[in-house]
Amino acid sequence: MAHPPTVLALFDLDNTLLPIDSDHEWGNFLVEKGVVDALAYKKANDYFYSAYKAGTLNIDEFLEFALKPLASHPRKQLASWHDEFMRVKIEPHIHTKALDLVKLHQEQNHLCCVVTATNSFVTRPIAKRFGIDHLIATEPQINSEGEFTGKVQGLPNFQSGKVAHVEAWLKEQDLSFESVLNSVFYSDSLNDLPLLEKVKEPIATNPDQRLQSLAIERSWKIIHLFA
């Protein structure tokens, strides 16, 4: 029996399924733990987040900054910190409407995937919390001992990089944007315009001002999960 045509449901994470930016909050968490230089790190963390929101982020400079703490501590310690991070920074921001949105697609057997620029160390447990097994994220490089190097493995999953990574992931499953019955992408940011333009059904979700204006201009659906 032939399988039914695949419907693809892609979700950005930060400020989309979450009302916060997990990358920025991880930086704040490290400051609060005292494992980075508090004043300098917070200043840089806030600067990069502002640049991201303005659409002017230099992704290579940001990743050099963001991945350095991963290389400065063993994986076991990082995992312990991340467990605490999930409890104190993420769990309070898991909202029913976001969980229900994911569940709506899963109940229809849609192929669900989180597609985020934030690195996979930070985001994999968050995607799992939403019940989503598939994650496409920026991948931190790992050395032969299994520790982080502070560098990026491959292309950052940012802007047009998201399209390239999703296309590669679909190809692994003998699928493509052209072969699926429908493809939907939920995002809050104009940084995701390349992938929003690639799917059949772009949905501006809690959109920033720039994306909201474009969504209105193009008659894209707009939803708000966090009133």
Choose the catalytic residue: 12, 21, 188, 192: 12
Q: Is 12 a catalytic residue?
A: yes
CA 143 to centroid of chain Cα atoms: 24
Whole-angstrom distance, CA of residue 18 vs CA of residue 48: 19
Choose the catalytic residue: 14, 23, 188, 192: 14
Read off the tokens for 55.
Answer: 């659409």
Q: Which residues contact 190 (CB under 8 A, 6 or more apart)?
A: 55, 208, 210, 211, 214
Q: Is 14 a catalytic residue?
A: yes
Q: Which residues contact 180 (CB under 8 A, 6 or more apart)?
A: 5, 6, 7, 8, 111, 170
- Give me the DSSP letters along 136-200: EEEPEEE-TTS-EEEEESSS-SSTHHHHHHHHHHHHHTT--TTTSSEEEEEES-GGGHHHHHHSS
The continuous run of DSSP H or E covering 11 comes out as strand 7-11
Length of the chain: 227
- The residues carrying an active-site annotation are 12, 14
